[in-house]
Amino acid sequence: MSRRTTVEPSVLYRVALVPGWVASLAVVAPFLAGVSIPPALQYAPLVVSAVLLGLPHGAVDHLAVARTRGERPDWRAIARVFALYGVVGGAYAAAWFLAPAAAFVLFIAVTWFHWGQGDLYALRALADADHLRSLPQRVGTVLVRGGLPMLVPLLAFPDWYRRVATDLVSLFAPDAVAAIGWAFRTDVRTALAIAYGALVVATLAVGFTRADARRPWLLDAGETLGLLAYFALVPPVLAIGVYFCLWHSLRHVARLLLVDDDATAALENRDPTAALARFARDAAPLTVASLALLGGLYFLVPNPPGSVPEWVALYLVFIAVVTLPHVVVVSIMDRQQGVWV
């Protein structure tokens, strides 16, 4: 499924997994100690993600599909990915102007799937998770892992969640916020909490009974329960900003390194710095182009941002637009690498 057998597992862990674990512990510690962080500072990780890992992790999509197939990216392969972004991303951008509330719900659903998708790959390719044997188990794992950043904050911090949703939708139509008010009702959140809790328990329990090796299952369970506590304790904007950069994005970057011959060679030589430098070089052009497009979006939205939260909302809308075609690219990689089979 991947080329990890040619790279020391300790190197992959150091690149892909350890930073996320350390960052999560470092962020949750102050809140366990009762220390509060000013709301304005909580937006910092999301702001930084525009240039550090967050936005760049998808800026190599034009090379990723060909490399996953063992091919050298040529202009045709690159043009196909550009066309995908133009058509799918363009249609979704239009949806934000036409039906912003529905576009926001789609953003949550797509991100839920995609972030779960990323962790499924990491468990199978980087951690040898042999307990995820069946398709229903893998679907359950995607729903559980994606629900940690997308659902748990809604259950634990509904006011924060509503505030962010309002900021995004209000860029286009402030009155449309009422259309998603149902998601914040106590009865809806209670039902979601019960269903999600049952899914977590069932997924981990079935995995436990099917695990030949306990270490991968313990890693899966430890990450799941640890992130559950993390997103239940840390306010959403801060929690998701750190997770986006140092958990989801970094794991995807490691995946990209494993399909790049030169980067893989650097990892085999225990030189992750050289491998990451190659990724940074590949991602730089489209990261810069994306930032320019983000600036252009400012002039198109009916209600341009003025405050930091509103600017972050604009950035999240742009992230939403590029995430949809990015998910298509990653799904092609999944199919090529046998993540689901």
pLDDT at 97 over 90: yes
pLDDT at 6 over 80: no
Known binding positions for Fe cation: 57, 114, 248, 252
The rounded mean pLDDT for the chain is 93
Q: How far is CA 46 from CA 178, 203, 306, in A?
A: 26, 30, 17
Q: Which pLDDT band, with edges at 50, 70 and 90, does 45 fall under?
A: very high
Q: Where are the domains of the chain?
A: 42-337
- More confident: 127 or 281: 281
pLDDT at 141 over 90: yes
Q: What is the pLDDT of residues 53-71, one digit of tens each?
A: 999 999 999 999 999 999 9
With tokens 């009916």, the residue in question is 302
Q: What is the pLDDT of residues 277-333, one digit of tens each?
A: 999 999 999 999 999 999 999 999 999 999 999 999 999 999 999 999 999 999 999
Q: What is the pLDDT of residues 150-165, one digit of tens each?
A: 999 999 999 999 999 9
197-207 exposure pattern, b = at least 16 Cβ within 10 A, e = fewer: eeebeebbebb
Share of the chain above pLDDT 90, in %: 82
CA nearest 290: which of 325, 333, 238? 325
Segment 154-177 mean pLDDT:
94
10 Å Cβ neighbour count for 321?
25
Q: Which pLDDT band, with edges at 50, 70 and 90, does 3 fall under?
A: very low
CA nearest 240: which of 253, 227, 252? 227
Known binding positions: 57, 114, 248, 252
State phi, psi for 106 to the nearest 5 degrees. Answer: -65, -40
pLDDT at 115 over 70: yes
With beta carbons less than 8 A apart as the criterion, state whether 309 and 40 touch. Answer: no
Q: Which pLDDT band, with edges at 50, 70 and 90, does 4 fall under?
A: very low
Q: Which pLDDT band, with edges at 50, 70 and 90, does 1 fall under?
A: low
Give the distance from CA 235 to its chain's centroid.
17
Q: What is the pLDDT of residues 180-223, one digit of tens each?
A: 999 999 999 999 999 999 999 999 999 999 988 889 999 999 99
pLDDT at 2 over 70: no
pTM of the shown model: 0.93
